[in-house]
Amino acid sequence: MNRKGTTGERMKAFLILEDGTVFTGTSIGSSREIISEIVFNTSMTGYLEVLTDPSYAGQAVCMTYPLIGNYGICHADQESLRPWPDGYIVRELSRIPSNFRSEDSIQNFLVQYDIPGIAGIDTRALTKILREKGTMNGMITTNENFALDEIIPKLKAYTTGKVVERVTCKAKKVLKGKGSKVALMDFGAKNNIARSLHERGCQVTIYPALTSAEEILREQPDGIMLSNGPGDPKECASIIEEIKKLYESNIPIFAICLGHQLMALATGADTKKMKYGHRGGNHPVKDLENGRVYISSQNHGYMVDTATLDPNVAVPAFENVNDKTNEGLKYIGKNIFTVQFHPEACPGPQDSSYLFDRFLKMMEVTE
């Protein structure tokens, strides 16, 4: 058995990967046992925004930055009402935060929401395994008497399933404004998407993910926003059917992350799972129209396969500088553009926030 890591005086915890690798560390947060998809995030700050990003539902997050929790928890910075990851993995957890805005410690936050985690392991080694072998499932447990031959089949059988239904809002909400009326489809939307539109004067109506296209179109929005969210986009079959109707409506549409993938699927293209995804606040993307490069915030494990695009329907608009994967599409003959990254970027760079202004101009032209 391959055991890596260090232990302290606190309760032992183990991270077991489906390839049989075992990391030994100390338990943080809840002590319950979980099986999840193990992913890594390269952000240096913004751990609270990461924890409260609904796109992490069904996953356990390894933070590559070695010290997490040093500035505590400030609830105003949350991207949703609660944290969503199944588990949390860090090198060192700061248990005594130092920040005038801090309202709580990250340890208490994890305990409050029953999220288990592990600290004290070599997160660099874990990240290298995920980069070399690809994202894999794992278990976080405090049971020292685990049996690998019993656990590994369970890990290989795990899937995140239909997580969009878990994270979407339960009822329609309205942020009143005097400007353009935007219908925001909540597939697991970060708060800052609605905030970015509302700050620009828009009246934003947030709809649950399974809302019909007919209901949205009946309220005659000036524009439609398709949000980010968790999981495999192909699990959202009924949502894709509604997006097809929105596509045909000729109302301006702006889509982010999962919304970008769903629009591609709705118009005949395909998506595929990435080896280990893009998660962090430091990913360079190139605007293919003018060659300018922006630093972006990202969180996704799937991508649009550009080889399956019909050039009469959509063409690539943005490209990842590191690995040349697709980062956005422009739709031909439609007021529709979609991006894989997060222009609302909280935490992260504000380079691409101008895309919200582009969306506003599209709505002004069609009003």
Tokens standing for residue 320: 């990842």
Q: Is 344 one of the annotated active-site residues of the chain?
A: yes
The answer to the question of whether 231 is labelled as a binding residue is yes
* Omega before 230 within 30 of 0, i.e. cis: no
The answer to the question of whether 258 is labelled as a binding residue is yes
Q: Choose, from 257, 283, 300, 327, the residue flagged as catalytic.
A: 257
Distance CA 56, CA 189 (A): 11
Tokens standing for residue 183: 């219908």
The answer to the question of whether 302 is labelled as a binding residue is yes
Please give the radius of gyration of the chain, using alpha carbons only, rounded to the nearest integer. 21
Residues pairing with 256 in the sheet: 339
The answer to the question of whether 249 is labelled as a binding residue is no
Q: Choose, from 79, 242, 344, 346, the residue flagged as catalytic.
A: 344
Helices (H), the chain: 47-51, 106-112, 123-133, 148-157, 164-167, 191-198, 213-218, 237-248, 258-266, 354-366
The answer to the question of whether 55 is labelled as a binding residue is yes
Distance CA 58, CA 116 (A): 13
Three-class secondary structure of residue 46 per DSSP: coil
The secondary structure of 173-238 as a DSSP string is: EEE--SS-EEEEEESS--HHHHHHHHTTT-EEEEEETT--HHHHHHT--SEEEE----S-GGG-HH
Residues pairing with 141 in the sheet: 14
Distance CA 242, CA 266 (A): 9
The answer to the question of whether 29 is labelled as a binding residue is no
User: Which is it for strands 181-186 and 223-226: parallel, antiparallel or unpaired?
Assistant: parallel
Q: Is 257 one of the annotated active-site residues of the chain?
A: yes
The answer to the question of whether 223 is labelled as a binding residue is no
Distance CA 197, CA 213 (A): 21
The answer to the question of whether 268 is labelled as a binding residue is no
Query: CB of 231 within 8 A of CB of 161?
Result: yes
Q: Choose, from 37, 79, 342, 346, the residue flagged as catalytic.
A: 342
Task: Detail the residues annotated as belonging to a binding site.
Answer: 55, 229, 231, 258, 261, 299, 301-302
Catalytic residue ranges:
257, 342, 344
Task: Detail the residues annotated as belonging to a binding site for L-glutamine.
Answer: 55, 229, 231, 258, 261, 299, 301-302
